[in-house]
Chains A and B, each alone.
Chain A
């Protein structure tokens, strides 16, 4: 949610007003972020990003090497090679393409490469479906990537730039996936404000040129962690039971430092542009005095907020939290916000078959340690792009308010908007 600001460094009138869809916004953001290598493969609804970027390349507007790979697996593989060689690397995909990348997602994260990936979230096959849900993003949940979900086109632009800042931060050095809902954001025109190129360059410190230093026993001095003929290192060795676990601990520790960096970057962006998204991690609305809170990811956040506003004007004590940072998951922060809430409805645009929606599992974990735990209901909705209509969300709130009154959850897992 965008909040008003006192005096941003770049006032809105100095920002560039553009009418773009989500994919174009991401492409512009990548262009302004001085990306060295873009390796990508077309897939709906992400394709506009690579199309737009190809135009920048064809018109000589960027220095970027565009690698039109033969598959998403190769897209991520090329990004791994490029980032290891010291380049700023970017790719974009969706659904089955993301699934094909899956093996290399883990490798990118484990090699600690600051790659940025835009995911125009789309349902996974079968049956084949090109429309939005979060099953693709949920599928990469455990790969070691930072996952951010955006609500609108402006946020897609802002977050793509922020993603490079977060990924390359020495405390982090992890790849970032920026999730924008397929079609709802990727193909929907919105008026957004973009920064002038040089301001984005300044924000990111120009080209990627400083690298984290590591100590290896065959050099006297610390050496840059890239493929460097001056100080040769081996990337991706065989690593067995005697060291692998420690390397995983490094990743676990790096993940812990992420929320702090996301908050800092959100704050810096606010000072620069006048825009921020909650604290960067969670975007709460009307939670303070709420009996019922609904959590949500992605573009549905706006619809839910609209209903919250409507219901609050009628005197209902309801609120919502949009989860912006999904990995690492803000367990503590969420528990803090939901303390004292009677009922929490968790909306998931995806499901772990045989279990609940993935964000429900995390929220259950987050709330378990509270002395007085809210009642929880998981609402799976919008699979395969089914619209999350306001009436449906309002009905869900009324159901949750009823539960708050009776204290009784009849069904813990509910399916919204599905035909009987």
Chain B
């Protein structure tokens, strides 16, 4: 194989569209954040290469690729155990065009802490051949809400300079759709089945992004792959701030949510349209700021869709549409409204 170099910008005709990201020692500068779709398509190559084994219709690789379009230079990716990890690296193959490490399930944030500390120590002693190396961590909802939460909270408190991107498919999908702290109320999973007595998960979704706000780290945001410009901008901000940043990205899962493989982006859009998953960002200076579609809905509440719009396309909620469960659907709507109203009260740019 010929020697690889940093992707040529713009991509020349006849060149492979996918290459490793090579930053030769001494590389200086910053990769541009391109927000024009045409230029983006022509000039950017993702850090996640094709050939991975994630399911058809999975939103996780879309989130990763969009995020990598916003990387600013040399970047080390840390991955918690989960779908993304197992499906992108089955030995002897890897889909990662950047240095990548997977340690275990619950310790992506602490592994990232170590990588970041190493970068600092190498820089201090003149052994780092770059101005900066960014650390981006990807974890699923199990590895973030539940088993990895202690490591994440600790790393955030210690103030390591990393961006943690949670791709939230709202259950343990890698092991076969078990409930997690990220699973919404009433959702069917294999460990919160819809039985004769109990109709799906009985508890609320842990407000993980708000919990990260409570850590008062420099940057917290929510994002979806459907609102891709918003996502890329947020990733770049998260990388640029000095200290920990956290992005909660909703990641529709056709296997677990029981929807068609062509619907991931549509469902992510409906999650925002129904205010089930509002888009916002938070910094200690600005407080909560609504972004993109959620800001539009706040300004024009008639744009807000009923929760049925989100529920009706997913098999995991199909019991909510039965006439005898109308009460449950109402409860779900109330839950969504409560979370949304609460956010409106806090969002600095929401019309008062």
Contacts and interface: CB of A to CB of B under 8 A. Distances in A.
Contacts of B90: 237-240
A67 B158 contact: yes
Contacts of A79: 114
A36 B1 contact: no
A209 B127 contact: yes
Interface stretch (A8-16, A223-231, A341-349): A223-231
B150 A71 contact: yes
Interface in A40-92: 63-65, 67-71, 73-75, 77-87, 89
Given A220-B1, A235-B102, A238-B90, A39 B76 contact: no
A232 interface: yes
* Among A81, A103, A107, A230: residue with most chain B CB under 10 A: A81
Contacts of A353: none
A80 B108 CA distance: 11
B110 A78 contact: yes
A219 B3 CA distance: 7
Given A79-B114, A80-B103, A81-B78, A36 B121 contact: yes
A73 B110 contact: yes
- Interface residues on chain B, size class: 35 or more
Nearest to A65: B117
Interface string B149-188: 0110111011000000000000000000000000000000
A37 B1 contact: no
Contact of A85 (B89, B98, B119): B119
Given A63-B124, A234-B89, A70 B74 contact: no
B100 interface: yes
B23 interface: yes
B55 to A, nearest CB: 15
B133 A229 contact: yes
* Among B106, B118, B133, B153: residue with most chain A CB under 10 A: B118
B263 interface: no
Given A37-B118, A78-B113, A237-B89, A230 B101 contact: no
A86 B133 CA distance: 13
A369 B126 CA distance: 54
Q: Give 4 closest A-B pairs by Cβ, nearest first.
A: A81-B114, A70-B154, A78-B114, A237-B89
Interface of B: 1-4, 20-25, 27, 74-76, 78, 85-86, 89-92, 94, 96-104, 106-107, 109-122, 124-125, 127, 129-130, 133, 150-151, 153-155, 157-158
23 contacts: A36-B125, A67-B158, A79-B114, A81-B78, A82-B114, A83-B118, A87-B122, A89-B114, A103-B104, A218-B4, A227-B99, A227-B101, A229-B74, A229-B76, A229-B98, A229-B99, A229-B130, A230-B25, A234-B94, A234-B100, A235-B100, A237-B89, A239-B90
